[in-house]
Amino acid sequence: MMKPASLRAFLTAAVADLQRDPERLQIFIEGGKILSPGDPLCADHPRAFEYRYRLQLIITDFAGHPDALFSPLVSWVASNQRELLAPGNADGVKFETEILSHDLADVSIELELSEVVVPVQRPDGGWMLDHPAEPAIDAACCTDAPLKIYLGDELIATWQPAA
């Protein structure tokens, strides 16, 4: 599975509160299943399979504005599992927050993720496991420039969009 590590790296680079203390981001995989996908991408690959799982993120003692966390999260989801943001998908991204004080909260986020794994035969007869990228996002809606998110005049998050 590649997405948990990808999301961890993305959020710890984009969220100032996690840059200072990345150990406050805990990641759990729950309800995992392995399926033989019906995706046309895998139709010619009898050894292909798909991971499906619920990824739970827990950020302890978060002191930033919620937008500083959720704006980069939505950007990552749009590049890596965009159907979670589709109209009518109310269960793709869920969160809960425990307010600890006027400036601290524990935040729990759940994402329903999937990853296809396709074996590709090597010249030596072995198999390499490929994790195909998600379908590309329409380039007209995106930019390669670093994204900067402000709350009023305060810069609360910045990151480089996924390629």
> Is the pLDDT reported for residue 114 higher than 90?
yes
Residues composing the chain: 163
Pairing of strands 25-35, 49-62: antiparallel
Say if residues 137 and 83 touch (Cβ distance below 8 Å). Answer: no
Q: When comparing pLDDT for 110 and 153, which is higher?
A: 110
pTM: 0.81
pLDDT at 45: 64
pLDDT for 139:
47
pLDDT at position 144, please? 62
What is the predicted pLDDT for the residue at 162?
A: 61
